Structure 1
Amino acid sequence: MALTYPLTTLSTRSQVTKSGGRVSQVEAFKKIIREEGPKGLYSGISSAMFGIAITQYVYYYWYELVKAALEKAAGADRALTVAENMLTGAIAGAATAGITNPIWVINTRQVVKKNDSDDNAKPIYKKQGTIETAMKIFREEGLKGFWQGILPALILVINPVIQFTVFERLKGWLQNRRSTALGGLDFFILGAISKLAATSITYPYIVVKSRMQLKQSGDENTRYKSVLDGLRKIINTEGVRGLYKGIEAKLVQSVLASAATFALKEQFFSSATWLLVLLKLRANKVAEAIVAVPP
């Protein structure tokens, strides 16, 4: 998240811009540097770092929990089917969306720095921290303000479903053709491919979610009553390409972040396993030494 956050900023700002004109990511980057300086690329990074930590924990916790339960029910004779993998990802994704949506509403407001998707709207979160932003949302919108965009977020459950299904299938396919264990580079590439597929398919819902997470204005064209209403209004006012604003930066960010996550996860898992074995051996040696000492 820290390494790829400038790409997240570029993508999110592009997603909520309602103008029909197409602005390149390079031009958007130059505009942020010119008007806000380098720190503008890291708007809201504190809430993002906290949010990604909670999101990853909740998602992996539920994913591994459900996966273990399904594997136990299926027995040791077979691997999980595609449908079972999808069910696992869907449950984990739904739990994650429901629990972490308030964090990402706060983060979106801090990145965009305004209440709605009006290009001329006055920035109001420019100097506000995470707590100040949260208090402002609560005062103006109540608790429901923290769950703006929850419906497209729940629909986006299909994103990790696609990602993990593709990842697990490619992983199994590659392992069957390798005589050696897969390494960090293998997991990096598999993570990149799986995230690329998931993000490309679900991006229009990401755009709608980002816009709905802003405070809804009185303008009928920017006020979305539902996910389908949002998709329809974007197409009517901005064309189909409006559903893919900022996708270039998002694809690069998602692929790099996901690939690094998969690679580091496997490396940390191997290191943790090695450390636990080492500690167990050390504990056994200490125990043997204590037993060997005469009373």
Structure 2
Amino acid sequence: MPRSYTGSVATDQALAGFAGGAVSTICLHPLDLIKTRFQVNASQGSPRIGGTLRSFQEIYRNEGFRHGLYRGLTPNFAGATVSWGLYFYLYAGIKSGMTVDPNTGRLGPTQHMAASMLGGALTAVVTNPFWVIKTRMCTTKKTSPGAYQSMFEGLVSLVRTEGMKGLYRGMIPALFGVSHGAIQFMAYEQLKYWRQEVKRKSWEKQFLEEVRGKVNDSISETAPGIQSSERAGISMDTETFEKLRQARLLEKKYDWETLSTVEYLCMAASSKVAATVATYPYQVLRSRLQMMNNPQSEVVYTGVIDCIRKIKRAEGIIGFYKGVAPNVIRVLPGTCITFLVYETVSAWCRNHARYGLDD
């Protein structure tokens, strides 16, 4: 049984993901709100430099801090924490049922992507109602006619006026967004694996050099067996060498799978940027389809294809990237915070494991 704090590695991962999503959402919600308002803006004007800062100042001045910059925090917090917690739970559970590569003892990039996409799709289905309410609250002022005053009121009103179908507005682009998480986690896992391999090989080299010095004889790094040396009075075959290596590993408690904070942050940021650039347009489509219908608006979207055509015709390609600036400003620190908290909580669960200690 693998070492775990709760008795299940998947549950440990869910707790870590929940904590990461909670901290990140609370810290960076204002940028999420600004991004969402940019996304649903159907004007033909191109984004201006400094628009994020000007929007921040305008919302704070006209709507205030709590009811302005932090409007929609509750559904965003619920959606983010449930998403991260459920996603990591499913992601870890799906991976545990996969067959590892016999040569490396690890899962390959394709398996990481498959686990991420399946976990992401299931998570999207469960959490979509939160995102509908969050989009509608973030794109309306608290004093606007018909605006939701709370997450609960929004859910009740949405079901009453639009039925269960309303809870799943924007579901199709949300499923497109599964590729975002898949690309992000495939890149993150691969970067982490490469760095861990570098550290492992460095430790192996150091260990070989240490043993070579003790036996006063050359050792092949490709075939680590050490032949007897009368001069040093030591006899060590391959099996003995491997036992010594394992014993030394336990003695030093050297864990090359634990990386530094800076390494985690760099890998999280790099993987997030790659995924964001590749998949951002789905977020614009989802927000447009989820926003509250405005009778005074001349733009009404009847579906995903209709939304794509109207954005392309009226706003051009740039229309699919509206809000990308505040999104990048938000996702970089947000991802770093999420993954840092996630890895920290995961490490704490491993270090304080109550199960699997005798394995």
TM range (shorter): 0.7 to 0.9
Q: Which moved more, 1:89-98 or 1:39-48?
A: 39-48
Task: Extract unaligned runs of 5+ from structure 2.
Answer: 1-24, 203-255
SS in 2 for 1:276: coil
Query: Quick one: which amino acid aligns to residue 175 of structure 1?
Result: Q
Please tell me the residue identity of whatever aligns with 2:45: G
Q: Contact (CA 8 Å) 1:93, 1:160: kept in 2 or not?
A: yes
How far apart are 1:176 and its partner, in Å?
2.1
- Which residue of 2 is the match for residue 182 of structure 1? 259
Residues 165-203 of structure 1, C-alpha deviations (whole Å, 9 max, x = no match): 110111111222234541222111111111111111111
The DSSP-based 3-state class of the residue aligned with 2:280 is helix
Give the whole-Å Cα distance in 2 for the aligned partners of 1:138 and 1:127. 13
Say which one has the larger Rg.
Answer: 2
Q: What's the C-alpha RMSD, in Å, of the aligned pairs?
A: 2.4
Number of aligned positions between the proteins: 273
- Aligned partner of 1:42 in structure 2 is 70
User: Shift of the alpha carbon at 1:277?
Assistant: 5.7
Per the TM alignment, residue 219 of structure 1 is displaced from its structure 2 partner at its CA by 8.3
Structure 1 gap segments, 5+ residues each: 115-121, 282-295
Distance 1:123 1:71, change over 3 A: farther
Identity among equivalent pairs (%): 32
1:225 positional shift: 3.3
* 8 Å CA contact 1:113, 1:124 repeated in 2: no
Letter in 2 for 1:171: K
Counterparts in 2 of 1:129-144, with a 5 A limit? 129-144=150-165
Partner of 2:229: none
- Does residue 237 in structure 1 map to residue 314 in structure 2? yes
Contact 2:148–2:154 at 8 Å: present in 1 too? no
- Three-state SS of the structure 1 residue aligned to 2:307 is helix
- Matching of residue 8 in structure 1 with residue 36 in structure 2: no
Alpha-carbon separation, structure 1, partners of 2:264 and 2:97: 24
Q: Does 1:20 align with 2:44?
A: yes
TM superposition shift of 1:50:
1.5
Which residue of structure 2 lines up, in the alignment, with residue 70 of structure 1?
Answer: 98
SS at match of 1:67: helix
* 2:106 equivalent in structure 1: 79
- Alignment partner of 2:60 out of 19, 27, 33: 33
TM-score, structure 2 normalization: 0.70
State the shift of 1:65 in Å. Answer: 0.9
The structure in which a higher percent of residues are helix is: 1
Matched, 1:261 2:325: no
**Matches of 2:354 and 2:303, distance apart in 1:** 52
Matched with 1:112 is: 139
**Which residue matches 1:145?**
166
Name the CA distance, whole Å, in 2 between partners of 1:93 and 1:226: 22
Aligned pair partner of 1:103 in 130, 149, 159:
130
Farther-moved stretch of structure 1 (149-158 vs 197-206): 197-206
Shift of 1:127: 6.2
**C-alpha separation in 1, matches of 2:276 and 2:42:** 21
- State whether residues 71 and 138 of structure 2, in contact with CA within 8 Å, keep that contact through their aligned partners in structure 1: yes
Q: For the Cα contact (< 8 Å) 2:289–2:303, is it kept in 1?
A: no
Separation of aligned partners in 1, 2:296 and 2:140:
19
Q: Larger relative CO (CA 8 A, sep 6+): 1 or 2?
A: 2
Runs of 4+ in structure 1 over 4 Å off: 74-77, 216-221
Is 1:216–1:223's contact at 8 Å kept on the other side of the alignment?
A: yes
TM-score normalized with structure 1 length: 0.85
Contact 1:216 1:222 in 2 (8 A): no
- SS of residue in 2 equivalent to 1:208: helix
Residues 109-140 of structure 1, C-alpha deviation per residue, up to 9 Å, x if partnerless?
A: 111127xxxxxxx9335560111111111121
Once the two structures are TM-superposed, the CA of residue 78 in structure 1 deviates from its matched residue by 3.6
| Residues in 2 aligned to 1:220 and 1:79: alpha-carbon distance in whole angstroms | 53
1:76 Cα deviation after fit: 7.7
